[in-house]
A = this chain, B = another copy of it.
């Protein structure tokens, strides 16, 4: 006689009670239970009481899967995130609150070495998220387009000219320009940029750096970096010692922090021997020990506006694609200083 376990089911305690079990135990129909559970008008106070009590006692929890299938909506908002990026963490916390109060739920799609952006987005879509919030997406526009087609998406942190995709971002160009201006004002002329790799935002900042240098009549040098501390540190190997470089404009705070680490481990003091500026003004940058000169891009405001845009779309706002560009704010701290006088 074959054993009678449910197919390929994982070890699981006794079967979860369903709405039917509750209905039976309360002596009513499942339809009624459903209404009670959803607080919809109809059921009498007495029934409501009883059903609720029974449900509670049985430890009943609605099966969201079934609910969603039946309702054909999820009230889910998907957010792509790099967990080890503190700036993403900050944004995510803010987003979570906003989404919460709007009566939706967030689901975080992690991007890691083994789980790239495409997969993260696909996962989110598979969860039937009704809207997507992409934190600093790095995929090329052309690949992103078909992926998010048909689902209200807001892109946080980079420009993206796709129909149906709203954008909330900081003015990266201005931010980088401010950094370069600041360094030039301090007397630096050998200013290099350690970029953020192949992503789109990286390209934007790279261009902004080049434009700013040109404006000052200075030569631009770009070193390929990346999104992590480690990649930032590694970029230093590509810096020629004799190049007369006295300042580095890093892609973001993580890159900058990695650079500072690498510099100081080689005995180069920051800012005495080298000025370093970041981007994001993350918790890391704010700390007096790090005291990173960086660019603040109002994460809270970005989170608020991004969620707002998504909710608006979900509420039927069919208006034009929005592109909200927030001003950046240069935050000058101790990691940048006057250029050393040449010997």
**What residues of chain A have their CB less than 8 Å away from a CB belonging to chain B?**
6-14, 16, 59, 61-66, 68-69, 71-74, 81, 83-86, 88-90, 92-93, 96-97, 100-101, 105-108, 110, 112-115, 122-123, 125-128, 130-131, 146, 149-152, 229, 257, 260-261, 264-265, 283-284, 287-290, 313-318
Contact = CB atoms under 8 A, between A and B. Distances in A.
Contacts of A106: 110
Contact of A83 (B81, B114, B261, B313): B81
B73 A96 contact: no
Contacts of A62: 126
Contacts of A152: 10-11
Contacts of A93: 83-84, 110, 112-113
A311 B324 CA distance: 44
Contact of A261 (B92, B115, B288): B288
A321 B14 CA distance: 19
Contacts of A151: 12-13
A90 B84 contact: yes
A149 B13 contact: yes
Given A13-B150, A287-B261, A289-B289, A128 B63 contact: yes
Given A61-B125, A83-B83, A150 B288 contact: no
Contacts of A127: 64, 107
B96 A110 contact: yes
A293 B261 CA distance: 16
Contacts of A125: 61
Contacts of A85: 89
